[in-house]
A and B are shown apart, each in its own frame.
Chain A
Amino acid sequence: AQSVTQLGSHVSVSEGALVLLRCNYSSSVPPYLFWYVQYPNQGLQLLLKYTSAATLVKGINGFEAEFKKSETSFHLTKPSAHMSDAAEYFCAVSDRSSARQLTFGSGTQLTVLP
């Protein structure tokens, strides 16, 4: 069984400040990990994915995430927040089986303050 925990359902940062969204996973096998972003009234959009090729993964819009096996974490960061980054962010883990289902975290709502 696999699971994802996102710490903090709401995170607020000032424009230009560091964005850090936390994700911890539980998996009995080496996982594939994903971050998605959802803007208001839109579907989920893939930000980045970890597939075991490199522990530091770069995604779209200046986001990146680092896979840390020892901490079972996959936190999402961005050095400088923009107003346009305000959205809900979901961490997800794939079970690597033939089914390839994703287990999603409960989401973190990011607010960017001017």
Chain B
Amino acid sequence: DAGVIQSPRHEVTEMGQEVTLRCKPISGHNSLFWYRQTMMRGLELLIYFNNNVPIDDSGMPEDRFSAKMPNASFSTLKIQPSEPRDSAVYFCASSLNAGGSYGEQYFGPGTRLTVT
């Protein structure tokens, strides 16, 4: 079975450029989560969706960050304009949120973003 798919795996961009990260969740999962991981701050939840609807975006650092989930099989995280402090590994995770499930999340391999 295919797991969570993220693209690109690595992204190097210059400050001020727009960056779009992509995620395909596991088929049948109805919750999707975007995380950011850095040495300084650890693993941070940015936003999560349930049935394609954003439920909590309180972790999004500022207006430069936006996320969409146009359908059950695709989500994007966009940073515009990017800044060096956005350099991190961004993970997408999905889970099945339904009766009888326990909330375990399955993570993608991550996108390593470097902003110079």
Contact = CB atoms under 8 A, between A and B. Distances in A.
Interface of A: 32, 34, 36, 41-46, 49, 51, 90, 94-96, 98-102, 104, 106-107
Interface of B: 4, 31, 33, 42-43, 45, 48, 50, 55-56, 91, 93, 95, 97, 101-110, 112
A43 B31 contact: no
A44 B91 contact: yes
Given A42-B109, A43-B108, A101 B43 contact: no
Contacts of B91: 43-44
Contact of A94 (B4, B102, B108): B102
18 contacts: A32-B102, A36-B107, A41-B112, A43-B4, A43-B110, A44-B91, A94-B103, A95-B103, A96-B103, A98-B50, A99-B48, A99-B50, A99-B56, A100-B31, A101-B56, A102-B105, A104-B43, A107-B43
Contacts of A90: 43
A46 B103 contact: no
A51 B42 CA distance: 26
Contacts of B33: 101
Contacts, number: 57
Contacts of B31: 100
B104 A34 contact: yes
